[in-house]
Structures are given as structure tokens and as C-alpha cells.
Amino acid sequence: MFGLNRSDTLLLIFVALLTMLAPFFLNPFPEGSSLAQFNGGYPDLMQRFVIFGIFAIGFNILFGLTGYLSFGHAAFLGIGSYAAIWMMKLLTMNVIPAIILSVIVAGVFSLFVGYISLRRSGIYFSILTLAFAQMSYALAYSVLTPITGGETGLQPKLSDPRILDTMLGGGGDATRANLFGLEMGKSWQMDWNGWVFTFNTGYYVAAVVMLIAFYLSIRIFRSPFGLMLRAIKTNQNRLNYTGVNTKPYTLAAFVISGMYAGLAGGLLVAMDTQVGPERMFWTASGEVVLMTILGGVGTLIGPVLGAGLIKYMENILSKINEGLLETWFAFMPDTAGDVVVTVLALFTGKGWHLTLGLIFMLVVVFLPGGLVGGLVQGGRRMFRSRDGKATRETKSNQTPPTSTPAE
């Protein structure tokens, strides 16, 4: 189906079901329960799941296939966001032109950055991309303030021209992003026996875009181009010795990865119509590296899972403060409860990064293939143990051969 083999088709269907049914399985606890704190099925978080999933998918095309580690991918995320917000300010609040322009501008900028950075490899390539990202952040923060809004950022205003909206009778004064009149922030709720499920327009628009991006990544992974990128990762020098010019392939992978980042930046603006330079800071580039490694470098679904894990911890675990912990452990004796709350408070709230760091260390040490690699290894071991058990049972049930004495 869609040019995919059976396993890839099943994977695409599985991801589609996950995204479409996310409002249900991300709200496993009733609204009024003490565990409702861990529900993640609200629009803002679900949007971030799929948008940063796109960001990580694109980064994985570069890092997972070619082995080139970029520390500056946040620059393309920010460039895409600024392109999208200016499209909304000048032309229309419809998200389609904004998303298209964000991909184009990010692609052109990544072509420039990649052409220079790919003259080096290894750590030198990584440092070059980091330098470009930090220069972009500095320009957006201070030098290009009339264009970027500086520290305060940009957002649509009533005074913006929005030429296309005005020409088509849209009024030109709406500051909310829409898809042909359907507002991105519009939501519907379904109450069922204490559970509350929220269905948001913006989330499903971003989810559909993520599914398209995921499908394209599968085609890239399975294509001859993807095989060439894997060969570059395995031994680029050997390819150069055979006369193959690898630079066009690595540059193409870099540009595709940058366009994915620009797409994620445009979707961020479509969901929340404001942009600041913090999206281009080096920590944002490091975050996508963590997402990819946690999920599984070079795997298809791994970066999406890694993005979901980090964004879940950032939005859920960071909100668990000492007051909430004291409520949970009020049943314990005072001394024991205080000790438990004091220890857990180090790993929650403002200390959620400590928990993330510990998880990252455990994954790197015990699951070098990331979460997906761990699941695959666990499945193989389980099947091997079952096959071994079945083989032993079969042998034990067999009638031993009778020996005939020699005459």
C-alpha cells in the first residue's frame, strides 16, 4: 500500500491509529481522580507531541542515516517560525501558505549552512552547525530586531495588512490562525463516566501533516538514496575511493532535514501565533538530539517516541510540586512522608531535568539502540525463549529410539 512493504504499511497504520486516537489513550485517568495529573490528552501537549515528532523525524534523516551530528538544527526551526509569522502578518492567517513558506525558507537557509558546514565532518561539522545556530540566535535576538521583534518576539496584530484576507473579504483584522475559516484553537469535548476527551482542530491538522512527513521518511529510508546515505555512514572514505562523490548526497540529506525542521517551526506558529528567538537557542538543538537518541537513532518510529517522552516529562513531570507530593503521601507517617517528599521533589517540578538525565544515562548504557531497540531486543528474546521451550518440549515428548542388539 502506498508503495510500502507489509511491515512498513503496518507501522504507518499503527502510527496513524496512535495519532488519531491520542485524545483517548493520553487520558487514562478520570478527570476528578488524584492521578489525573498524569493525563496528557490536552490540545497544547498533543500538538507538541506531533510537531516535535516531525522535528525529530527530519533530524533522524541526517543523523540516523548519514551519521552527521548537527548541533544547530534549532536555527531551521526558528527560521521556519519567522517565515510563517511574517506570512500571517502580511498575507493571510490561513496556515497553508505559512507552512509552505516556512518549508521553502528553511530549505534555502539549510542549503547555505550545509554547503559550508559539510566541508568538514565529525566534531568539526557539529561545531560549525552550532556556530551557525548561535549566530542566528544572536541576529534574531538583537541585530535584526525590526524583523524578528528581538526579545519580545512577533505575533499578529490588528494593524497588520493581511492583504489576501482583506481582498477576499476576510476582514483583515482576525489574529487567529485558521484553515480555510476553521480556527486552529477550536476544540470539542466529550464527557464519559468521569473521563473528559478533548478533540482539537489544530492537533488533527498537525497530526495529518506528521503522518505525511512520517510516510515520506519511510520512502526515503527504503529508497536507493537512503541506501547511499547508509553507505556514507558506514564508510564514507571507501565510497570516495571508489570514485563516488558523496557531498551531493550529504547536502541533500541536510537540506531535507532542515526542511522538516522548518515545517515543524511553521506548525508551531500555526498552533500558537507567536515567535521568539528562544526557539533558535542551542538548548533546542540539544533537545532534538536527545529525542532521537532516546527513541532510537536510525529507526523510523524511534524519534517520534523520544519526542513524546521528553515533551511529556517537560509538561507533566515539571508540574508536580512539593504540595502535590504531600497530598499523595499524606497517608504515611510524618517523618517517612517528609523524607519521601523531599527525595521525590529533587526529581520533579524544577528538577525534572534530573529525571530526564537519569533516563538518558540508563538508555545509553543499557539500551544503545534506544527505546525501539530495547523493545526489539526484548521481543526477540521472548520469541527465542518460547521457541527454545517449544523445542525442548517437542524433544521430551518424542519416543526415544529403541536400539537393536548386534547379532
pLDDT at 131 > cutoff 50: yes
At 323 the pLDDT is 85
Average pLDDT of the residues in 366-381: 84
At 160 the pLDDT is 86
Query: Which grid cell sits at 89?
Result: 502578518
pLDDT tens digits, one per residue of 330-373: 888 888 888 999 999 999 988 898 999 999 999 888 888 888 98
Of 11, 219, 182, 192, nearest in space to 94 by CA = 182
pLDDT at 174 > cutoff 80: no
Q: Which of 98-135 are b and which e, b meaning 16 or more Cβ less than 10 Å from the residue's Cβ?
A: bbebbbebbbbbbeebbeebbeebeeebbebbbebbbe
Contacts (Cβ under 8 Å, ≥6 apart) of 156: 85, 88, 89, 93, 175, 273
Q: For the whole model, what pTM was predicted?
A: 0.90
Which residue carries 506531533 as its cell?
50
Percent of the chain with pLDDT over 70: 93
Average pLDDT of the residues in 54-78: 95
Average pLDDT of the residues in 213-237: 94
Query: Which residue segments constitute the domains of the chain, with CATH numbers given?
Result: 6-315 (1.10.3470)
At 378 the pLDDT is 79
At 154 the pLDDT is 92
pLDDT tens digits, one per residue of 276-322: 999 999 999 999 999 999 999 999 999 999 999 999 999 988 888 88
Separation of alpha carbons 285 and 268, rounded Å:
16
Separation of alpha carbons 290 and 148, rounded Å:
28
Q: Chain-wide mean pLDDT for the chain? A: 89
Separation of alpha carbons 42 and 245, rounded Å:
48
Which residue carries 523520544 as its cell?
306
